[in-house]
């Protein structure tokens, strides 16, 4: 947040951890909040917690962490988790040293690569991962062999595997395959999924008899990997944050991206 940024008073309270958004609104209605020494019950009031004195029942509002949003191009061998008891590298290790505590939104398995979003915006994480939002994930999968049209139709219709019904929208990619041996070649598929089940793409491809050799996520909701180098991380733009929050079902009032 910069000094000219202002957010609704209830948003400021909620971000400090005092209460949920609705709980914060009730605290304001009860005349328990003062801004620069003036009690307010105006829920439309916008404030800047960095430059204004906000109190609740006469006590200063706790400082909240600035919200941060990062896109990472994960490489193989990096865990999509906050920490690892065995000391293996994690996606959090690749964030700038100045970054607040962030978590990955969803996961890529150890041998997969590509786009991961990391943030400390809890409501955004919850919204993007909730099944009701149907946020699309797009993957490039290099598979052994050349799947038939019938095999791709099976993926499209849905495949039962270990109690789950897995499905994706597949298409053939123009990326050239490669020779693995005298009789084995690879080809590439683009698969769009709306769920985040464990190893879902690999399980779908195994079910049609075409094991995955390389798996790369290239899109998550409106966020694109584009030309971000392997292992690199970048902060998101305000526009990208707004699009992500919209995909998560959050209202425009919640769009207070801090860069």
Residues 60, 88 within the same domain: no
Asked if residue 196 is part of any domain, the answer here is: yes
Q: Both 180 and 103 in a single domain? A: yes
Q: Are 135 and 173 within one domain?
A: yes
Considering the domain architecture, whether residues 84 and 186 belong to the same structural domain is answered as yes
- Angle formed at CA 219 by CA 215 and CA 225, multiple of 5 degrees: 85
Q: What is the separation of C-alpha 18 from the centre of its chain, rounded to a whole number of angstroms?
A: 25
State whether 128 and 216 are in the same domain.
Answer: yes
Q: What is the number of domains present in the chain?
A: 2
**One domain, residues 144 and 16:** no
Report the CATH number that the domain containing residue 32 is assigned in CATH. Answer: 3.10.290.10
Q: Among 148, 116, 81, 104, which Cα is nearest to 216's?
A: 116
- Residue 249 falls inside a structural domain: no
CATH number at residue 142: 3.30.2350.10
> Tens digit of pLDDT per residue, the chain (259 long)?
444 468 889 888 887 777 777 888 999 999 999 999 999 999 999 998 878 999 999 999 887 778 899 999 999 999 999 988 898 999 999 999 888 889 999 999 999 999 999 998 888 888 999 999 999 999 999 999 999 999 999 999 999 998 999 999 999 999 999 999 888 999 999 999 999 889 999 999 999 999 999 999 999 999 999 999 999 999 999 999 999 999 999 865 444 444 4
Does residue 242 sit within a domain?
Answer: no
Q: Within this chain, do residues 175 and 88 fall inside the same structural domain, yes or no?
A: yes
Residues annotated as catalytic (active site), given as ranges = 109
pTM for this predicted structure: 0.78
Q: Are 253 and 127 in contact (CB under 8 A)?
A: no
Give the structural domain span for 229.
69-235
Same domain, 54 and 158: no
Same domain, 99 and 143: yes
When computed from its CA atoms, the radius of gyration of the chain, rounded to whole angstroms, is: 22
């Amino acid at each position: 947040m910069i000094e000219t940024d202002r957010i609704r008073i209830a948003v400021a309270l909620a971000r400090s951890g005092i209460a949920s958004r609705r709980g914060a609104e009730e605290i304001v209605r009860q005349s328990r909040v003062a801004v620069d020494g003036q009690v307010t019950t105006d829920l439309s009031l916008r404030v800047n917690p960095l430059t204004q004195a906000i109190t609740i029942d006469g006590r200063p509002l706790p400082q909240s962490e600035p919200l941060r949003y990062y896109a990472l191009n994960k490489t193989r061998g990096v865990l999509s988790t906050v920490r690892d008891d065995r000391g293996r590298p994690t996606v959090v290790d690749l964030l700038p040293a100045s970054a607040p505590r962030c978590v990955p939104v969803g996961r890529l398995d150890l041998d997969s690569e590509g786009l991961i979003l990391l943030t400390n915006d809890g409501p955004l994480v919850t919204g993007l991962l909730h099944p009701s939002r149907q946020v699309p994930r797009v993957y490039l999968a290099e598979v052994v062999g050349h799947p038939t049209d019938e095999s791709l139709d099976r993926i499209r219709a849905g495949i039962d595997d270990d109690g789950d019904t897995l499905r994706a929208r597949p298409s053939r990619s123009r990326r050239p395959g490669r020779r693995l041996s005298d009789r084995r070649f690879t080809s590439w598929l683009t698969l769009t999924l709306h769920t985040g089940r464990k190893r879902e793409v690999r399980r779908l491809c195994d079910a049609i008899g075409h094991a995955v050799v390389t798996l790369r996520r290239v899109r998550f909701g409106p966020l694109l990997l584009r030309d971000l180098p392997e292992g690199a991380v970048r902060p998101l733009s305000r526009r990208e944050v707004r699009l992500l929050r919209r995909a998560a079902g959050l209202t425009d009032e919640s769009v207070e991206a801090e860069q």
